[in-house]
Amino acid sequence: MKLLQENAYREVIWRQRVNESARAVMLAYAAGHDLDNLGANYNVERLVITPADETTLPPTPAVMESDTDYRLRIQQAFEGMSVAGSTGAYQFHGRSADGRVADISVISPEPACVTVSVLSRENNGAASGELLAVVRNALNDEDVRPVADRVTVQSAVIVDYAIDAALYLYPGPESEPVLSAAKAKLQTYINAQHRLGRDIRKSAIYAALHVEGVQRVELVAPVADIVLNETQASYCTEYSVKIGGNDE
């Protein structure tokens, strides 16, 4: 019996090893150094968001591009090879211009005119003039921009909003774990929506706050959905989530 258990355990470990090895070479699943290796195959390097600082004690390590953002740029690498001025090509070269670029949107309001909106990782997301100049130079390279295109690079229009909500819980001994879980899930939603053209929907806020233990949610703000276009990005200035009481 023990021998069968040992063989079964070895088989489980072996299958796990095979699965992990397979995932390491798949773009959708690779992470960390495995993703760096895949990026090297496409000549796409992980960007530095904040350089390392060796003068501090202890030294401050560099803040690198996240796996999610890096994976997206690798996916767009073939688009970047196009010289036809495709949306994907402008997005790839814009995102690759500087690690401070959080998001890029590309629209063509009229023939041969391209408007590129840049969302920064810094502060509330409004791109500085210096960052816009970096992106503008990258997109106006003769190997990137078609001769006939006229490219305008602008900062994203930042739309501020706040969230104010009260949670009513099922009767129970502890409320703090429920409140912490709701806040964490709400923060994840806020971070995910801080991109160009992503709406802030009340239904999504309700969904984020309806963690286990919550009976109902009263949402005071925002009072309506915030619908954005491709040149706009939301920024949550503050949020307040409190326990309103218990519901029977």
User: Which tens digits make up the pLDDT trace of 16-55?
Assistant: 888 888 888 899 999 999 999 999 998 899 999 989 988 8
Q: Alpha-carbon distance 10 to 172, whole Å?
A: 44
- For residues 169 and 232, state if they share a domain: yes
Domain count, the chain: 3
Please check whether residues 75 and 11 belong to one and the same domain.
no
Candidate from 40-54, 107-121, 134-148, 165-179 with smallest mean pLDDT:
134-148
* Residues 234 and 136 both lie in one domain: no
Residues 6+ apart with CB under 8 A from 81: 89
Query: Across residues 192-211, what is the average pLDDT?
Result: 96
Same domain (yes/no): 171, 139: no
- Kindly report which listed range (28-32, 163-167, 180-184) carries the lowest average pLDDT score: 28-32
Residues 200 and 223 in one domain: yes
Q: How far apart are CA 37 and CA 45, in angstroms?
A: 9
| pLDDT-based confidence at residue 130 (cuts at 50, 70, 90) | very high
Single pTM value for the model: 0.81
Q: Do 101 and 194 sit in the same domain of this protein?
A: no
Domain residues for 165?
A: 158-246
Of the three residues 130, 155, 180, the one that is the final residue of a domain is 155
Are 3 and 41 in a shared domain? no
| Helix pair angle (32-41, 67-75), 10° resolution | 20
Q: Is 225 a residue whose pLDDT tops 90? A: yes
198 lies in the same domain as 137: no
Give the mean model confidence (pLDDT) for residues 91-109: 92
Residue 84 has pLDDT above 70, yes or no: no
Euclidean distance between CA atoms 235 and 190, whole angstroms:
8
Domain shared by 148 and 226, yes or no:
no
Q: Count CB atoms within 10 A of the CB of residue 30.
A: 20
Question: What separation, in Å, do the N-terminal and C-terminal C-alpha atoms of the chain show?
Answer: 52
Q: Which residue, 155, 173, 200, sits at the end of a domain? A: 155
Question: Above 90 in pLDDT, residue 162?
Answer: yes
Do 191 and 110 have their domain in common?
Answer: no
- Do 82 and 147 lie in one domain? The reply is yes
Count of beta carbons in the 10 Å neighbourhood of residue 2: 6
Strands (E), the chain: 48-50, 63-64, 101-110, 113-120, 150-155, 157-169, 214-221, 232-246
131 and 57 both lie in a single domain: yes
